[in-house]
A and B are shown apart, each in its own frame.
Chain A
């Protein structure tokens, strides 16, 4: 039996809700019967036609007839119903030659559509607490992200990015960096060598670069001072993989050579960089070290970012700095004059500094990762944490 708009006697909220729900149910039900354009026109005229359409009727029978004190409330409700009916009728329209989506089995109520357009009523409100249709974004790899952050700190100081090959010659990886043949410092590098190189002179033999420092040499060969370069990249060592070792890892190398560069500049630059990376409250500490290609050489520690440099936290020894308050982070030094000889710079006229830092080490600190292997097995559960 077709729906007719009832006259109202009770103007209470409850009664209005009930009457409204009945009307919308009727709309919903009649919408399924629309099979073609002609059907739809009839449907449209019956519900929203100016002449005696259902909407016109509720205006007369519900709103106009309402007692004065209820008018405001009724008016609001009638308006809501009007919006919903209009949208429901529009939603039932479909292109010629296609099937009414309502019947085609998609099973969606015509009434849900206007709601999704943001004009819904209380009765048809969405459960907005349901999860959205999310399109996943890819996550940056924590190592690449960290490496880019380091590079960007130095770019802002005027350093240009340089790259070099991962397969290097003995000359660039060792000799030109002042590691003479048979020097014990070569032992600290755990080098992976390329096979079948014995017939070549030592300096031409290929190996996997053990540090990004060869890019220093390549950069100085290419350009004359002033030089400011930062060299991110992958390096290799003959280290069997475990929680703290990996045969591949990443370094960022930096080099500044000019007529005026001093050890104080080295200190100031790295102090600035560490503050930019770890926060302005971080302190740096420099102490003597040894690298064949720098002199004086230094290791740099930062005050422990976990315990604020106190050595203690959570009522016990800080495990991150082993209660020392300091974390060792990078190596650096003034470029050794021997290195300048290989690139034809005049060590009496120019001076400079170089530094190198392990990206994994910094990422491990920043993110609290406890196993370096996680960086290299492509585990999506790990990678997506950095999205």
Chain B
């Protein structure tokens, strides 16, 4: 909202310079975002919080200034000429309606105003003007509106706009001669009715809409926008001014339903000043009469269907102290509230210290805490001391904090950069990279981001492609985050870590040759990352989903649960994403992995006796996997065999096709003695026999 400091001076005699004023307002909660222009042309860009509709206008801000600086506030008191003819103001018995009789050039017409929805329209004030000349507004009005970026239209329309910015009360003017049936009815629209609003849009109405209607048709969408067909034109001579109070929720719903957010709806949905309908109506009349001549017909017709309930609030000084922590004295409290327009009545002998009557423009103030906030903000937040509270509790860790920390620090040490990607993916990717039902967004940002991610892989591949397209060929990333799946009517959130790697395992340099990243580099990282977790059995199988390369991917199965899937991305998937080099991915299922505790380290005595190594050179059929060899060796239960590792695998040369040569190195060690040659000599044949049982032939 724009605000002219010069305009404020109509109501309060400000001494502060512009910057000081802006600062003082901001520190009282009436935020000035920026200042543009100078002198009387200066404009404040305001950021008024949604709870303060009373400050979304000049008079309201002037009222704040008067409280901040303790200056008198000049009230708005429109001066109207005597009415040309007294209005009949007799209400119809038993109803909420009152009647204004209107005497035009034509035979006099009675003009009743009827409210059929008192809950939604508690108050409707109207005035009638006659023989007005529609023309441009006076310069002062035009200039002030222009300063606020408001386009001047005509004296009658500008008068309503001026009053909106001056005192925050939206009003409306009708061409009286275009109102049919000689009356105004506030009612719900009938299904099928239409209304062409001022913006020229033909709107379909329903019974949810509240309208201002004449005897025949809706002439305005209540509190939101007036009707096109009854608007003020150059030909208008006679005017009906409307100033009503509308139920905030009704206005908000209508504004949303019709996609029509106006200055009027903005204020009504936040709560306008119930007591300002008459003065605003008079102010519009005053402005029109000043510029367009004509005369007033009768007095204001003020129909009150029900009164708003603004209950007084009991204030305890002790509560002010308890919440704010500073011992403000009762006189200071009184002074602040009084300056803000609250009626502060001391309670003698009562339970509370004060009874506070709330001014009509402060619908946001309903409770003691609301009053305490008023006291705090006018006292000045910066005047409160900075203290630290005493505390008797202790820090409690999240159950997985240690595991998260371990995994993350290992990933960083392994050279993976930490990344964060968007949480949305496309339907297509959700189907391709997972088999769970995806959670769809009702108002997605785009087709490509229409569901919550069911897998971290599409995001990781996107980041890999992003890097490759920008000439970064050696990239390792990891992302920790949640994936989501629909589970009946609720959403499941599952924590994952996803790794992506492409390029070299060893970076090229002058001292060593480069080597491209392989499946086993990734597997090594997976092994290192899984190592801290305790399990009975960790095995790997190759049952990976279709988006993985069928021969270069694996699953890590920890005690029967799949905790990681990893490997090279399928060439078709890579091609579809235009990945121009091999990309490797690993998906860690933390919900399953974290069911395993971290290893508890127990010190093991260092060996005091030397180790002995023996190599076994075999030829195996390609169908024999290391897993089988591992199982066979483990099954031997040779306690002193501390490790066995493959040291060389060779295909081609004099090794027949379909076979490979395999060098296994076993290491023996005892914790109790130096092993003797004969002992080792007894184990070797068992090992050879076990390897032969797998179809291997020993090489001599």
Min Cβ gap B613→A in Å is 12
Min Cβ gap A86→B in Å is 24
Interface string of B394-408 (1 = CB under 8 A from A): 111110010000000
When the two chains form the complex, which single residue of B252, B325, B460 contacts A265, counting CB atoms closer than 8 Å? B325
Interface string of B466-488 (1 = CB under 8 A from A): 11001010011111011010000
Q: How far is the CA of A387 from the CA of B477 in the complex (A)?
A: 13
A124 within 8 A of B: no
| Residues in chain B near residue A204, CB distance under 8 A | 489
CB pair B466–A378 under 8 Å, yes or no, is: yes
- Assuming the contacts A131-B510, A184-B252, A268-B387, asked whether A286 and B472 have C-beta atoms less than 8 A apart, the reply is no
CB pair A260–B381 under 8 Å, yes or no, is: no
CB pair B441–A378 under 8 Å, yes or no, is: no
B262 within 8 A of A: no
Q: How far is the CA of A240 from the CA of B444 in the complex (A)?
A: 10
CB pair A228–B417 under 8 Å, yes or no, is: no
CB pair A264–B413 under 8 Å, yes or no, is: no
| Residues in chain A near residue B419, CB distance under 8 A | 141, 378, 383
A256 within 8 A of B: yes
A137 within 8 A of B: yes
| Residues in chain A near residue B415, CB distance under 8 A | 135-138
CB pair B388–A265 under 8 Å, yes or no, is: yes
Min Cβ gap B527→A in Å is 17
Q: How far is the CA of A265 from the CA of B384 in the complex (A)?
A: 10
A34 within 8 A of B: no
Segment 347-405 of B: residues with Cβ below 8 Å from A: 367, 369-370, 372-373, 376-377, 381-382, 384-398, 401
| Residue of A with least CB distance to B465 | A378
A269 within 8 A of B: yes
A296 within 8 A of B: yes
CB pair B376–A296 under 8 Å, yes or no, is: yes
Segment 271-329 of A: residues with Cβ below 8 Å from B: 271-272, 285-290, 295-299, 322
B34 within 8 A of A: yes
Q: How far is the CA of A133 from the CA of B511 in the complex (A)?
A: 7
| Residue of B with least CB distance to A272 | B388
B452 within 8 A of A: yes
Segment 223-244 of A: residues with Cβ below 8 Å from B: 226-228, 234, 236, 238, 240-241
Q: How many residues of B contact A (CB 8 A)?
A: 94
CB pair B418–A296 under 8 Å, yes or no, is: no
When the two chains form the complex, which single residue of B369, B387, B489 contacts A262, counting CB atoms closer than 8 Å? B387
Q: How many residues of A contact B (CB 8 A)?
A: 88
Q: How far is the CA of A271 from the CA of B449 in the complex (A)?
A: 39
| Residue of A with least CB distance to B462 | A378
Interface string of B220-263 (1 = CB under 8 A from A): 00000000000000000000000000001100110000000000
Min Cβ gap A342→B in Å is 15
| Residue of B with least CB distance to A185 | B50
- Determine the main DSSP class of A at the interface with B: mixed
Most buried by A among B386, B477, B512: B386
CB pair A238–B50 under 8 Å, yes or no, is: no
| Residue of A with least CB distance to B464 | A378
User: Which of A22-30, A38-46, A56-64, A154-162 faces chain B?
Assistant: A154-162
| Residues in chain B near residue A182, CB distance under 8 A | 249, 252-253
| Residues in chain B near residue A265, CB distance under 8 A | 325, 387-389
CB pair A133–B416 under 8 Å, yes or no, is: no
| Residues in chain B near residue A272, CB distance under 8 A | 386, 388
CB pair A297–B373 under 8 Å, yes or no, is: yes
| Residues in chain B near residue A200, CB distance under 8 A | 489
CB pair A193–B391 under 8 Å, yes or no, is: no
CB pair A267–B393 under 8 Å, yes or no, is: no
Q: How far is the CA of A248 from the CA of B423 in the complex (A)?
A: 8
User: Which of B25-33, B88-96, B338-346 faces chain A?
Assistant: B25-33
CB pair A196–B370 under 8 Å, yes or no, is: no
CB pair A381–B470 under 8 Å, yes or no, is: yes
CB pair A234–B423 under 8 Å, yes or no, is: yes
B153 within 8 A of A: no
Q: How far is the CA of A337 from the CA of B443 in the complex (A)?
A: 33
- Assuming the contacts A193-B441, A238-B445, A272-B388, asked whether A262 and B325 have C-beta atoms less than 8 A apart, the reply is yes
Most buried by A among B369, B420, B489, B493: B420
CB pair A268–B386 under 8 Å, yes or no, is: yes
CB pair B510–A158 under 8 Å, yes or no, is: no
| Residues in chain B near residue A226, CB distance under 8 A | 391-393
When the two chains form the complex, which single residue of A196, A197, A263, A337 contacts B325, counting CB atoms closer than 8 Å? A263
CB pair A195–B387 under 8 Å, yes or no, is: no
B581 within 8 A of A: no
- Assuming the contacts A131-B509, A286-B382, A379-B470, asked whether A247 and B422 have C-beta atoms less than 8 A apart, the reply is yes
Q: How far is the CA of A135 from the CA of B419 in the complex (A)?
A: 19
| Residue of B with least CB distance to A197 | B442
| Residues in chain B near residue A297, CB distance under 8 A | 373
- Assuming the contacts A140-B418, A258-B391, asked whether A165 and B491 have C-beta atoms less than 8 A apart, the reply is yes
| Residues in chain B near residue A4, CB distance under 8 A | none
| Residues in chain A near residue B34, CB distance under 8 A | 322
Min Cβ gap B513→A in Å is 11
When the two chains form the complex, which single residue of B324, B417, B418, B442 contacts A264, counting CB atoms closer than 8 Å? B324
Q: How far is the CA of A72 from the CA of B568 in the complex (A)?
A: 64
A55 within 8 A of B: no
Q: How far is the CA of A298 from the CA of B49 in the complex (A)?
A: 11
Q: Would you list 15 pairs from A and B whose C-beta atoms are within 8 A, ordered by A residue?
A: A138-B478, A184-B50, A192-B441, A192-B443, A194-B439, A194-B491, A196-B440, A226-B391, A247-B422, A260-B389, A285-B27, A295-B369, A296-B381, A376-B421, A380-B472
Other than the known A182-B253, A287-B381, what 7 A-B pairs have Cβ atoms closer than 8 Å?
Answer: A144-B420, A161-B401, A184-B269, A206-B491, A241-B445, A375-B420, A376-B422
Q: Which A residues form the contact surface with B (CB < 8 A)?
A: 130-131, 133-141, 143-144, 155, 157-163, 165-167, 182, 184-185, 187-188, 192-197, 200, 204, 206, 208, 226-228, 234, 236, 238, 240-241, 247-248, 256, 258, 260-265, 267-269, 271-272, 285-290, 295-299, 322, 334, 336-337, 351, 375-381, 383-384, 387
Closest 3 CB pairs of A and B: A262-B325, A378-B463, A288-B29
